[in-house]
Amino acid sequence: DADVTQTPRNRITKTGKRIMLECSQTKGHDRMYWYRQDPGLGLRLIYYSFDVKDINKGEISDGYSVSRQAQAKFSLSLESAIPNQTALYFCATRRNTGELFFGEGSRLTVL
Amino acid sequence: AQSVAQPEDQVNVAEGNPLTVKCTYSVSGNPYLFWYVQYPNRGLQFLLKYITGDNLVKGSYGFEAEFNKSQTSFHLKKPSALVSDSALYFCAVRAYNTDKLIFGTGTRLQVFP
């Protein structure tokens, strides 16, 4: 089983719909992250969390919200999806020594 | 503000030849530097990191990187490329006093037989 699991892996939705991307981890790490990947832009940080009571905005948090339901779970929501949120989304956890461990990604298409 | 530049969108190299993927960074204070690799339809995988100490860092799959403070660079290298090294490579930097890891735009490495 994967250490960092993202669901769904692929999702097609329409403009204005609410979407939730879920992430769960079995690595026992406190720090969790959401990034989006766009061709030519690399990965950009959306939100990150130190623990269930500590949520922080990243570079591009507008239009997104997150929830840290437990140490192992960190979900990303798009309240009203728009086409320019079409991207590949990655969840990651961070070991105390600094390395990130990524999920397999969630490909979101907003029509 | 932290930033990372990967000046080459793509690097082409013949199998068996040495490879270099370039990375320069900008950060206040001491940097924590990382390289990650992404294979098609997969998440990123950690390759190596520089935190402190020896400027030459060795990592997974025979890769190494050299930290150069005066040139603010952290180039990824491998003495002999393999076709299976073909992938997308990302450099990333974090300032010692933050938790934000900032990624570069990525360099696609193509190793030809």
Residue B78's nearest CA partner among B59, B91, B93, B92 is: B59
Position B95 scores a pLDDT of: 84
Q: Where are the beta strands (DSSP E) in A1-111?
A: 4-7, 10-13, 19-25, 31-38, 42-51, 54-57, 65-70, 73-78, 87-94, 100-102, 106-110
Chain B residues whose CB is inside 8 A of the A50 CB are: 99
- Please give the pLDDT value at position B96: 78
Instruction: Write down the pLDDT at residue B2.
Output: 84
pLDDT above 60 for A36: yes
pLDDT at position B19: 97
Distance of CA B49 to the CA centre of its chain: 9
* CA count, 13 A, side-chain hemisphere, B62: 11
Predicted local confidence at residue B99, as pLDDT:
80
pLDDT value for A101: 95
Q: What's the pLDDT tens digit per position in A65-106?
A: 999 999 999 999 999 999 999 999 999 999 988 899 999 999
Q: How much is the pLDDT for A1?
A: 57
Is B42 part of the contact surface with chain A (CB cutoff 8 Å)?
yes
Alpha-carbon span B88 to A20, nearest angstrom: 27
Local confidence band at A2 (pLDDT 50, 70, 90 cut-offs): low
Give the residue on A whose Cα is nearest the Cα of B48: A99
pLDDT value of position A35: 97
pLDDT at A65: 97
Residue to test with chain A: of B42, B101, B105, most A Cβ within 10 A? B101
Asked if B34 and A98 come within 8 Å (Cβ–Cβ), the reply is yes
Which residue ranges in chain B fall short of pLDDT 50?
A: none
Tally of CB atoms within 10 A around B92: 25
Q: Which chain A residues are within 8 Å of B44, Cβ to Cβ? A: 43, 90, 92, 100, 102
